[in-house]
């Protein structure tokens, strides 16, 4: 085993070095504090590994993303969301029998308890569906209390099965339409689209082009190692909180515009530029201005510093799907122009800011008829198997201690309490 040396106040400490299967190097600082009294400081966790994980590999410089070793490009082209979910959760591609059983389980568990439908009535019509999703997922714990140690496998299935029902019910509620029950004869994605867009009065035919596009979108979102929401799920799970509470926390973390909420922010930005006359160059200038809060949403990534492989797949898919559906969207043109100009601009080049997964996903969701405020919900449905795989990895791991970072205190030193009459 190699070690790294750490010198502080003239004293040197040897720290073990950990190497991943792709030769990633980490210095194990677990004993640093007990040996030296010092801690490391890394706000935003730029250089901090929170765990060892066997689920997803990313090489941000090369634009590589693999789930359980399989390149994202192959999974997006050849797999579907249910199979990819199984892969993430179990580490291997399923056999035909395993996949059949998993699909049947997802169908069997797709309804939510009838009483839960009443919860939707309590929200105002313009409630953000991410708030509803997070609350509903947390509420599932009241129906499926985490009492037995081995009960979480069925709760994993319940969550993947029910999340699309909850999402579609939230949407139906927001537009004042009756909810549509899940159907046992539909695939995972077809079922979701049917619950979203069917109305009792008329026949709705699920478009296979949309089913394929949705499968791809969900696969591309399914995991991304230690991102903000996944790290949140692991953080909450480390306290031994139940699986529903942990996932609900992940949904809340995903909601922010710097994370999953960026897909909604991108579409709103493109609409704003369109309504403003389409002068995209003006907005690039604004994004570069340090005195202006405006950022080019859908650009930049903490890990990808060359290109985001998911964005590359999505750019092509957006073009193909819009063509197949016969849709011409002016926002796609603005997006392509923004991308072109930003990729040539020294500000973006020097900072290695490239389009990320959210830059094109909104265009596709819009073409599918999904309303803008549901975009982040779509991301959550996609990310769920990843969160669950991490939850499971943490719970099954033998070295899972409660997550408890330290801090460097910068506040006041000890001082005596001053009575109110003596305060200045
Ligand atoms: N537009 C303009 N400038 C930017 C942008 C942007 N979208 N992103 C980063 N910068 C600048 C930033 O101002 C900083 O400049 P300087 O060095 O002069 O101070 C530099 O680039 C580095 O940015 P940072 O904020 O330190 O980078 P980060 O790694 O902390 O943040 C990010 C990454 C994704 C939060 C950020 O790039 C961003 O806010 N992007 C827009 C939101 C977005 O699209 N988020 C979705 C991410 S992909 C989906 C997911 O996995 O969550």
Residue 379 falls within a domain, yes or no? no
Question: Can you give the CATH number for the domain in which 290 is found?
Answer: 1.10.230.10
Are 191 and 295 part of one and the same domain? no
Residue 188 falls within a domain, yes or no? yes
d(CA 46, CA 27): 14
Confidence at residue 5, expressed as pLDDT on a 0 to 100 scale: 96
Q: What backbone phi and psi angles, to 5 degrees, belong to 414? A: -60, 135
DSSP state of 259: T
**Which runs of consecutive H residues, i.e. helices, occur in 23-128?**
32-36, 72-78, 81-90, 96-108, 117-121
Q: Is 327 helix (H, G, I), strand (E, B) or coil?
A: coil
Given 346, 367, 388, which residue is the final one in a domain? 367
Confidence at residue 148, expressed as pLDDT on a 0 to 100 scale: 59
Nearest to 247 by CA among 120, 388, 75: 388
Are 80 and 203 part of one and the same domain? yes
Residue 378 falls within a domain, yes or no? no
Are 272 and 245 part of one and the same domain? no
Q: Is 169 helix (H, G, I), strand (E, B) or coil?
A: helix
Atom index in ligand 1 nearest the CA of residue 44 equals 30
Whether the per-residue pLDDT at 283 is higher than 70: the answer is yes
Whether the per-residue pLDDT at 117 is higher than 60: the answer is yes
Are 331 and 362 part of one and the same domain? yes
Distance of CA 109 to the CA centre of its chain: 23
Positive or negative, the Cα torsion across 150, 155, 157, 158? positive
Are 174 and 317 part of one and the same domain? no
Are 179 and 283 part of one and the same domain? no
| pLDDT confidence bin for 93, thresholds 50/70/90 | very high
Confidence at residue 399, expressed as pLDDT on a 0 to 100 scale: 66
113 is catalytic: no
Q: What is the pLDDT of residues 309-365, one digit of tens each?
A: 999 999 899 888 989 999 888 988 898 888 888 889 999 999 999 888 888 898 899
Are 84 and 119 part of one and the same domain? yes
Residue 406 falls within a domain, yes or no? no
Residue 416 falls within a domain, yes or no? no
The set of residues, in sequence order, having a beta carbon less than 8 Å from that of 258 and lying 6+ positions away, is 228
Are 138 and 273 part of one and the same domain? no
Atom index in ligand 1 nearest the CA of residue 266 equals 44
Atom index in ligand 1 nearest the CA of residue 308 equals 48
Burial of 399 (0-12, 13-18, 19+ CB in 10 A): exposed
Residue 414 falls within a domain, yes or no? no
Confidence at residue 64, expressed as pLDDT on a 0 to 100 scale: 96
Portion of the chain with pLDDT greater than 70, in percent: 98
Q: Is 260 in the pocket of ligand 1 (CB under 6 A)?
A: yes
Domain count, the chain: 3
| pLDDT confidence bin for 174, thresholds 50/70/90 | confident
Residue 356 falls within a domain, yes or no? yes
Torsion of CA 340, 370, 227, 74, to 10 degrees: -70
Q: What is the pLDDT of residues 121-136, one digit of tens each?
A: 999 988 999 999 999 9
**Per residue, what are the HEC states of 337-386?**
HHHHHHHHCHHHHHCCCCECHHHHHHHHHHHCCCCHHHHHHHHHHHHHHH
Confidence at residue 305, expressed as pLDDT on a 0 to 100 scale: 87
Confidence at residue 171, expressed as pLDDT on a 0 to 100 scale: 93
Are 214 and 80 part of one and the same domain? yes
- Mean residue pLDDT of the chain comes to 93
| pLDDT confidence bin for 1, thresholds 50/70/90 | low
Are 100 and 197 part of one and the same domain? yes
What is the C-alpha radius of gyration for the chain, rounded to an integer number of angstroms?
23
Given 367, 385, 405, which residue is the final one in a domain? 367
What is the domain extent for residue 324?
A: 262-303+312-367
Are 152 and 235 part of one and the same domain? yes
d(CA 13, CA 383): 40
Between helices 375-396 and 129-143, what is the axis angle to 10°? 40
Given 224, 255, 286, which residue is the final one in a domain? 255
Q: Is 262 in the pocket of ligand 1 (CB under 6 A)?
A: yes
Q: Is 71 helix (H, G, I), strand (E, B) or coil?
A: strand
**pLDDT, mean of residues 278-289:** 91
Are 45 and 75 part of one and the same domain? no
Whether the per-residue pLDDT at 146 is higher than 80: the answer is no
Mutate to test the pocket of ligand 1, among 220, 300, 311 (most ligand atoms within 8 A of CB): 300
pLDDT: is 203 or 72 the higher one? 72
The set of residues, in sequence order, having a beta carbon less than 8 Å from that of 260 and lying 6+ positions away, is 229, 254, 358, 376, 379, 380, 383
pLDDT: is 247 or 343 the higher one? 247
Q: 300: alpha, beta or left, given left = phi > 0 and alpha = psi -120 to 50?
A: left
| pLDDT confidence bin for 150, thresholds 50/70/90 | low
Whether the per-residue pLDDT at 149 is higher than 80: the answer is no
291 is catalytic: no
Residue 222 falls within a domain, yes or no? yes
Q: What is the pLDDT of residues 16-68, one digit of tens each?
A: 999 999 999 999 999 999 999 999 999 999 999 999 999 999 999 999 999 99
Question: Can you give the CATH number for the domain in which 11 is found?
Answer: 2.20.28
Q: Is 308 in the pocket of ligand 1 (CB under 6 A)?
A: no
Question: Can you give the CATH number for the domain in which 163 is found?
Answer: 1.10.580.10
**pLDDT, mean of residues 139-167:** 88
Torsion of CA 120, 123, 125, 129, to 10 degrees: -70
Catalytic residue (choose from 301, 320, 345, 416): 301
């Amino acid at each position: 085993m190699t070690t790294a040396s750490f010198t502080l106040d003239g004293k040197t400490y040897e720290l073990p070095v950990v190497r991943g299967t792709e030769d990633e190097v980490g210095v194990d600082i677990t004993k640093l504090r007990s040996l030296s009294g010092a801690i490391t400081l890394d706000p935003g966790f730029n250089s901090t590994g929170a765990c060892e994980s066997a689920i997803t590999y990313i090489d941000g410089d090369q634009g590589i993303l693999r789930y359980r070793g399989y390149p994202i490009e192959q999974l997006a082209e050849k797999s579907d969301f249910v199979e990819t979910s199984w892969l993430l959760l179990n580490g291997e591609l399923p056999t035909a029998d395993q996949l059949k059983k998993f699909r049947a389980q997802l169908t069997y568990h797709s309804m939510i308890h009838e009483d839960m439908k009443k919860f939707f009535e309590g929200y105002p019509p313009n409630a953000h569906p991410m708030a509803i999703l997070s609350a509903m997922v947390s509420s599932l714990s009241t129906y499926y209390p985490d009492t037995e140690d081995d009960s979480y496998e069925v709760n994993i299935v319940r969550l993947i099965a029910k999340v699309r029902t909850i999402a579609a019910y939230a949407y139906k509620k927001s537009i004042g339409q009756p909810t549509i029950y899940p159907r046992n004869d539909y695939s995972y994605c077809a079922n979701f689209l049917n619950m979203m867009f069917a109305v009792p009065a008329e026949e709705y035919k699920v478009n296979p082009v949309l089913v394929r596009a949705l499968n791809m979108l969900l696969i591309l979102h399914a995991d991304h190692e230690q991102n903000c929401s996944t790290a949140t799920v692991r953080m909450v799970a480390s306290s031994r909180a139940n699986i529903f509470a942990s996932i609900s926390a992940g949904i809340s973390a995903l909601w922010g515009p710097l994370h999953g909420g960026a897909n909604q922010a991108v579409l709103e930005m493109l609409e704003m530029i369109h309504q403003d006359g389409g002068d995209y160059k003006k907005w690039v200038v604004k994004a570069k201005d340090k005195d202006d809060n405006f950022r080019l949403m859908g650009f930049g990534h903490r890990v990808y510093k060359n290109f985001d492989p998911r964005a590359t797949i999505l750019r092509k898919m957006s073009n193909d799907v819009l063509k197949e559906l016969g849709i011409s969207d002016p926002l796609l043109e603005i997006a392509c122009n923004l991308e072109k100009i930003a990729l040539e601009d020294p500000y973006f080049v020097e900072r290695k800011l490239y389009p990320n997964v959210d830059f094109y996903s909104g265009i596709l969701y819009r073409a599918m008829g999904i309303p803008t405020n549901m975009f982040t919900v779509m991301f959550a449905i996609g990310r769920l198997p990843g969160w669950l795989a991490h939850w499971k990895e943490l719970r099954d791991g033998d070295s899972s201690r409660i997550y408890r970072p330290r801090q460097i205190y910068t506040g006041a030193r000890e001082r005596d309490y001053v009575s109110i009459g003596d305060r200045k």
